[in-house]
Amino acid sequence: MNLGTMRTEVQARGSDYLSTTRVNQFLNWAYKEITRYMPWPFLETSATGASPLTITDLGLILSVTGSRSDQPLARADRRQILIGDDDLSEIGTPVLYWMENLTVNVWPSSATDTVTVQYIKVPADMSLDADVPVIPADYHELIIDGAVLRAQKDNDQYDSYQASRQIWQSELDLMVLTIMGRNLSGPSFMTVTEPKNF
């Protein structure tokens, strides 16, 4: 489904009094809530470049790897690095990385090395009617249901909202079990090296 189709469905469920802009906003809010709920594998991607490397859709960092050593770099606090290198001018093979907003920096710095950041991206809002969410098609209905929830809350239908919210949460939890539980051969946990509120 695309944004236009989902909006038509939300309006058909008793929200036809809402403007196109308002329904789109509710759909995007629901979309964000779903994509931020877990480090979903369908949001995993990577970026490669010289440090400092700015990644505009950066969510959670899974790993940072240097091109020369091909080994994951350890996360550090910039203040700790400054204790040993007060102007961050040391050159060499990167072994540490730190974050400054959406920018990945490495230490020691290198003019020739690149870094690869494996991360969970923050998807862009849907704005055009033809825009399709990045979550699997089987779960597009969950975005619609989430938008209907927002409309109920917006219309002060708190009893309906509470009941619908419980059903929606159960469906979201089922999505977690279905998608995140696919790999039964590996560890039962995921290590995220750079938690971030976004």
Q: How far is CA 187 from CA 23, 36, 180, 183, 190, in A?
A: 40, 22, 12, 8, 8
For every residue of 108-165, DSSP letters joined together read SB-SS--EEEEEEE-PPPP-STT---SS-GGGHHHHHHHHHHHHHHHTT-HHHHHHHH
pLDDT for residue 81 = 85
Q: Give 89-108 pLDDT, tens digit per residue.
A: 888 888 899 999 999 999 88
Q: How far is CA 18 from the centre of its chain?
A: 28
φ, ψ at 104 (rounded to 5°) = -95, 125
Q: Report the alpha-carbon distance of residue 68 to residue 175 in Å, rounded.
A: 39
Q: Which is higher by pLDDT, 192 or 180?
A: 180
Question: What single DSSP character describes residue 170?
Answer: H
pLDDT for residue 185 = 57
Q: Report the alpha-carbon distance of residue 198 to residue 185 in Å, rounded.
A: 31
Considering only CA atoms, give the Rg of the chain: 21
Q: Report the alpha-carbon distance of residue 93 to residue 167 in Å, rounded.
A: 52
pLDDT for residue 183 = 59
Domain range annotation of the chain:
3-36+123-180, 42-120
Prediction pTM value? 0.81
Q: Tell whether the model's pLDDT for residue 6 goes beyond 80.
A: yes
Q: Tell whether the model's pLDDT for residue 22 goes beyond 60.
A: yes
Q: Tell whether the model's pLDDT for residue 173 goes beyond 60.
A: yes
Greatest CA separation found in the chain? 63
What pLDDT band is residue 198 in, cutting at 50, 70 and 90? very low
Task: Tell me what percent of the residues of the chain surpass a pLDDT of 90.
Answer: 62
